[in-house]
C-alpha cells in the first residue's frame, strides 16, 4: 500500500534500524522505544492488523513468533523475560495500520504500548 508507513519501511523507502530481514519478514527498532529492547516485527506484505490475518498467513504468523523468540535470545532478554504484543483496531490504540508485533524487554515492564 503506497500510503502505509510500514510498507515504505519494508521496501526501504523510509530508513529503519533493522535487526533482521528476509523476503517475508522485517524486524527493526521502534523509533520511540518504551524499554531497552523495543523491536517491531512486521510481515513485508501489507496486512492491516491481526483482524485481517487469514489461514493463508499461517506459516508467516508462525515465522514471526519464532523470530520473536530468536531475537529475544539475541538481545539477551530470553531469561529475564519479555513481552510480544500486537494492537488490532481502534480500541487497542493501534497507530500504524500494518500488522506489527512489539518485542519489548530489558527491564521490569509496566503498562506499555
Ligand atoms: P501501535 O501503537 O500501532 O501498536 O505501534 C506503532 C509503533 O510504531 C509505535 O511504538 C511507534 O513508536 C512506532 N513508529 C511509528 N513511526 C515509526 C517510524 O517511522 N519508524 C519506527 N522505527 N517506528 C515507528
Ligand atoms: Zn502496509
Mean predicted confidence (pLDDT) in 26-51:
98
User: Is the pLDDT confidence value at 46 over 80?
Assistant: yes
Q: What is the pLDDT of residue 2?
A: 77
Asked whether 77 and 39 are in contact (CB, 8 A), the reply is: no
Instruction: Kindly state the cell numbers that stand for 26.
Output: 522485517
CA of 29, closest atom in ligand 1: 22
CATH number of 5-105: 3.30.428.10
98 labelled catalytic: no
Could you tell me the residue ranges of all domains in the chain?
A: 5-105
User: Is the pLDDT confidence value at 104 over 80?
Assistant: yes
Decide which of 112 and 29 is more confident.
Answer: 29
CA-based nearest residue to 34, from 87, 70, 79: 87
Q: How far is Cα 7 from Cα 95, in angstroms, rounded to an integer?
A: 14
Q: What is the pLDDT of residue 111?
A: 87
CA of 16, closest atom in ligand 1: 22
Amino acid at each position: 500500500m503506497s500510503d502505509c508507513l510500514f510498507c515504505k519501511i519494508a521496501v526501504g523507502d523510509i530508513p529503519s534500524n533493522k535487526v533482521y530481514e528476509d523476503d517475508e519478514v522485517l524486524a527493526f527498532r521502534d523509533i520511540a522505544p518504551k524499554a531497552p529492547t523495543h523491536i517491531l516485527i512486521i510481515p513485508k506484505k501489507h496486512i492491516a492488523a491481526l483482524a485481517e490475518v487469514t489461514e493463508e498467513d499461517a506459516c508467516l504468523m508462525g515465522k514471526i513468533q519464532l523470530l520473536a523468540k530468536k531475537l529475544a535470545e539475541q538481545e539477551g532478554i530470553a531469561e529475564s523475560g519479555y513481552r510480544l504484543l500486537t494492537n488490532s483496531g481502534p480500541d487497542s490504540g493501534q497507530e500504524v495500520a500494518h500488522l506489527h508485533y512489539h518485542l519489548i524487554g530489558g527491564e521490569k515492564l509496566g503498562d506499555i504500548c
